[in-house]
Every structure is written in C-alpha cells, then in structure tokens.
C-alpha cells in the first residue's frame, strides 16, 4: 500500500494518464493521448537535471503527460515539460499534493468517479 497521502500512486497515475485526451489542432476534436511511459519520463527528467524524490515519481509522471495533453503550445519540448514537472512539484509556496487535488476536482466536475479502493 502506498502511504504517500495526497500524491499519485502508480496505479492511479497509470489510470489517470490512460484517460488523458488532447485537442487535435487539425481536426479540432479531442483524441486519446499516446502516453509517455514512466521509464521514458524518468529518463527525460534525468537528462534535464530533474531528480524527483521517490514519493513524487508518479505525480511527476502524471504531470509530464498532462503537459503533453493540456499545454502543447506552451510546453513544446522535453526540457520545457521537465522544468514544468520540477517547478510544479518543488514550488516553494505550493504543495505537490495540490496536483492530486486538482485532478480530483477535474474528475468530480466531469462526473467521472474515482474508485479509490482500486488505487490506494
């Protein structure tokens, strides 16, 4: 059992990422995101000098894929997405747990239930 209350577990991050969509600029329709696997995200982060503490790895994985889905005009490169992950998790006046809180709010607003028993 994952004891990192307020942070993504591996199972929850995998589920959240698997349901991400992006706006296709050509067709102007939402399409499923092709997720970047965890190991690849870890490599990209490391390549750009971002080393997350173990408890933040799955939150970082979620954020990296979210950056692809939600911020394609702003976060265009691997380096920009790596910095986004780092700055979000390490925000000195923020809390990394806010990422999960925002995800939970999005699911609630969309009427999509999170079956917590499957992800804790």
Q: Which domain holds residue 73?
A: 10-118
Asked whether residue 30 is domain-assigned, the answer is yes
In a domain, 80, yes or no: yes
The domain total for the chain is 1
Give the model's pLDDT for residue 1. Answer: 39
Query: 1 lies in a domain?
Result: no
Strands (E), 1-120: 21-23, 30-32
Count of CB atoms situated within 10 Å of the CB of 51: 9
pLDDT for 2-61, tens place per residue?
456 689 999 999 999 999 999 999 999 999 999 999 999 999 999 999 999 999 999 999
Token pair, residue 84, equals 């986004």
Residues near 68 by Cβ (< 8 Å), separated by ≥ 6? 20, 22, 33, 36, 75, 81
Quote the pTM value.
0.91
Confidence at residue 2, expressed as pLDDT on a 0 to 100 scale: 45
Asked, for residue 4, whether it belongs to a domain, the answer is no
Instruction: Between 120 and 47, name the one with better pLDDT.
Output: 47
Could you tell me if residue 49 is inside a domain? yes
47 close to 78: Cβ distance less than 8 angstroms: yes
Asked whether residue 89 is domain-assigned, the answer is yes
User: 117: pLDDT confidence band, cut at 50, 70 and 90?
Assistant: confident
Distance CA 36, CA 97 (A): 22
Q: 5 lies in a domain?
A: no
With respect to residue 2, please indicate whether it lies within any of the assigned structural domains.
no
74 has a pLDDT exceeding 80? yes
């Amino acid at each position: 059992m994952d004891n990192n209350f307020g942070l993504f577990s591996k199972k929850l991050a995998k589920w959240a990422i698997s349901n991400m969509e992006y706006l296709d600029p050509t067709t102007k329709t939402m399409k499923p995101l092709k997720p970047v696997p965890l190991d690849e995200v870890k490599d990209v982060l490391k390549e750009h000098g971002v080393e997350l503490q173990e408890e933040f790895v799955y939150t970082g994985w979620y954020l990296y894929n979210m950056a692809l889905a939600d911020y394609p005009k702003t976060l265009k490169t691997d380096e920009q997405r790596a910095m986004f992950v780092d700055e979000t998790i390490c925000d000195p006046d923020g809390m990394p747990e806010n990422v999960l809180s925002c995800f939970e709010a999005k699911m609630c607003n969309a009427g999509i239930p999170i079956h917590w028993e499957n992800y804790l």
